Structure 1
């Protein structure tokens, strides 16, 4: 009987600990990216709410600013806010080039390294590690380093 009570006590402790870990992993705000070719953003957290925007940009970075069940309130690079199902999003980090002109992509994380390409504002790519003001950036297999301040989706959300 003591063994049975001990096992029940252990199971109860495990059940209490699991939700705390899950919540720690999903504290808002955090970065995510759109993980499908077509994603609807709604005005509220449910399928009955009106569709405000239809996104057709795979890997577009978004900032998760609120969670409600399976719904996430997002902010897109233009500052628009709305709700999207978690199934349409990924934790894979991405970024979008911002600014007024072309941005240089270098071979290494340094402005003195060889320039590989010039990328224009609006280009979306997968984000690598950021260090010293430079981030790894991969857009359709074109890999290099871009200044962190030229990317929306890098740094702290």
Structure 2
């Protein structure tokens, strides 16, 4: 009977314990994976984490959101919206957050409400600066327009991530 109570107490303790923190990067101690953006207008994407590794391609869109999935010294392994990835030197990356619009002609609303006025339409693949985000909406800025879009229409946020 005592063994059953101990097992029950262990199960209750595990259920009440806070969720474990996400994995941390070995170099920066920042959450992994996480989103960043391309600081430069061009960034070489290498096969491995050093200058001696071959350049597989070049990212050519400043502020493009990228997901960091690994770290090694001054290098970050990143993937883009399509899952293509490689190693980029950390100096080419910024913590400023941007998102990509996932659906063509996405309405941008004046307030976080589909009944509010539409102030613009965002094209598929448009890069938008991310502002405040809750579970359903994100405030964005793109090409001078500011407004709100449903967060499901954006790539560049971790599931459950909110921003103030």
For normalisation by structure 1, the TM-score amounts to: 0.80
- 1:5-154 to 2 correspondences below 5 Å: 23-24=28-29, 26-99=30-103, 101-154=104-157
Measured in 1, the distance between the counterparts of 2:131 and 2:28 equals: 25
Unaligned runs of 5+ in 2: 1-26
For normalisation by structure 2, the TM-score amounts to: 0.77
Tell whether the 8 Å contact from 2:75 to 2:89 is kept in structure 1 after alignment.
Answer: yes
Unaligned runs of 5+ in 1: 1-21
Tell whether the 8 Å contact from 1:130 to 1:154 is kept in structure 2 after alignment.
Answer: no
How far 1:23 moved relative to its partner?
4.3
What's the C-alpha RMSD, in Å, of the aligned pairs? 1.5
Runs ≥4 residues deviating over 2 A: 154-157
| Residues 23 and 56 (structure 1), Cα distance of their counterparts in 2 relative to 1, 3 Å cut | closer
Higher helix share goes to which structure? 1
Tell whether the 8 Å contact from 2:34 to 2:158 is kept in structure 1 after alignment.
Answer: no
Measured in 1, the distance between the counterparts of 2:98 and 2:52 equals: 29
